[in-house]
């Protein structure tokens, strides 16, 4: 039976470490980590994410600002808010909740965030730092994936890691993390995606499989080899007549069958999901502590 990698448990461990370091930072340097979040419009899912981030800040003793502005807010007004936060020494991390309304240029907004406060790790400077192996902020979900592997004592060194998905948020950065010549990484990495004529040709070669393609249960037992380590990043809603809600949440991996062949696997929900906010808090703490830039 596969080891079930408990993301909730590991994220709680990380948050406990963050809280301890936060208290030390306040005691020794009178610095309180500050995270500012901008929400434009009234997207329900975005509101839930923003509220969960604010609660995490409160629990860890962070200074937190949540600015909620109407969907009609102009791009120049959004950029003005970001520049104010860029120049505020009490703010160590800036996060703009995506997606943004169509009249606002997402790239221009992300480029305006000072790289040293880009705790989401989306600024091209931080992406470039990751590629060449320099210190910088790493996108929270892939950073969380790597922490799950490390803290589960899964060493990727010399292993064939197959990443299904090529997004800037997950696929590309986790590939870059895994091939770095450092402890627990140093893997041989293949990136594939749904344009492959035979996706299973690649997934069956994986010692470590990262599924981040956003297709419900696209990977089944016949698509993996015995003993594979599986990290399922997918969060997909599918109809379920047996559920009181009328739907259930599943990953990109068919958990019931793949878990019978895997040596370790993350569940959905409860695997990668809880790690994302934990790593956002960790990046904000790093920014407050200084030394990355």
Per-domain residue ranges for the chain?
Answer: 30-116, 140-271
30 pLDDT above the threshold of 80: yes
Confidence of residue 240 (pLDDT cuts 50, 70, 90): confident
In 3D, which of 79, 87, 75, 145 has the Cα closest to residue 117?
A: 87
Q: Is 12 among the catalytic positions?
A: no
- Per-residue pLDDT, averaged over 68-80, amounts to 97
Mean residue pLDDT of the chain comes to 95
Q: Is 97 among the catalytic positions?
A: yes
1 pLDDT above the threshold of 80: no
Q: What is the pLDDT of residue 90?
A: 97
Structure confidence by residue, pLDDT tens digits, 159-196: 999 999 999 999 999 999 999 999 999 999 999 988 89
pTM: 0.94
Share of residues in the chain with pLDDT > 90 (%): 88
Q: At which residue do the structure tokens 């010692």 appear?
A: 207
Considering the candidates 6, 15, 118, 120, report the single residue annotated as catalytic: 120
CA–CA distance, 223 with 238 (Å, rounded to integer):
21
Domain 140-271 adopts which CATH fold?
Rossmann fold (3.40.50)
CA–CA distance, 60 with 19 (Å, rounded to integer):
5
Considering the candidates 97, 117, 172, 223, report the single residue annotated as catalytic: 97
Same fold, 30-116 and 140-271: yes
CA–CA distance, 255 with 103 (Å, rounded to integer):
40
CATH of 30-116, one of 3.40.50.10860, 3.40.50.1370, 3.60.110.10, 3.30.230.30: 3.40.50.10860
Considering the candidates 6, 15, 53, 159, report the single residue annotated as catalytic: 53
84 pLDDT above the threshold of 90: yes
pLDDT higher for 43 or 234? 234
Q: At which residue do the structure tokens 């627990």 appear?
A: 184
> Hey, what are 287's tokens?
């920014």
- Per-residue pLDDT, averaged over 104-110, amounts to 95
218 pLDDT above the threshold of 90: yes
CA–CA distance, 257 with 278 (Å, rounded to integer):
29
Q: Is 245 among the catalytic positions?
A: no
What SS3 class is residue 217?
A: coil
8 A C-beta contact, residue 146 and residue 177: yes
């Amino acid at each position: 039976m596969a080891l079930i990698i408990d993301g909730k448990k590991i994220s709680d461990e990380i948050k406990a470490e963050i809280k301890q370091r936060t208290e030390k930072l306040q005691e020794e340097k009178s610095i309180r980590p500050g995270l500012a979040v901008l929400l434009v419009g009234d997207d329900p899912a975005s509101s839930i994410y923003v509220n969960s981030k604010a609660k995490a800040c409160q629990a860890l003793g962070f200074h937190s600002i949540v600015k909620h502005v109407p969907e009609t807010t102009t791009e120049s007004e959004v950029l003005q808010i970001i520049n104010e936060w860029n120049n505020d020494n009490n703010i160590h991390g800036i996060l703009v909740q995506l997606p943004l309304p169509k009249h606002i240029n997402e790239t221009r907004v992300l480029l305006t965030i000072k790289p040293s406060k880009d705790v989401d790790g989306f600024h091209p400077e931080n992406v470039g730092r990751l590629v060449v192996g320099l210190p910088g902020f790493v996108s929270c979900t892939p950073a969380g994936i790597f922490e799950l592997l490390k803290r589960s004592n899964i060493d990727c060194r010399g292993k064939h890691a197959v990443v299904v998905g090529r997004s800037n948020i997950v696929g590309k950065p986790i590939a870059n993390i895994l091939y770095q010549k450092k402890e627990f990484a140093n893997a041989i990495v293949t990136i594939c995606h749904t344009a492959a004529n035979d996706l299973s040709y690649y997934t069956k070669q994986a010692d470590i499989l990262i599924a981040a393609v956003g297709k419900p249960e696209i990977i089944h037992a016949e698509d993996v080899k015995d003993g594979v380590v599986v990290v399922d990043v997918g969060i997909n809603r599918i109809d379920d007549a047996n559920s009181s809600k009328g739907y259930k949440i599943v990953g990109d991996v068919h958990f019931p069958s793949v878990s019978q062949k895997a040596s370790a696997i993350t569940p959905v929900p409860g695997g990668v999901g809880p790690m994302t906010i934990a790593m956002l808090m960790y990046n904000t703490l790093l920014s407050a502590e200084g030394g990355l830039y």
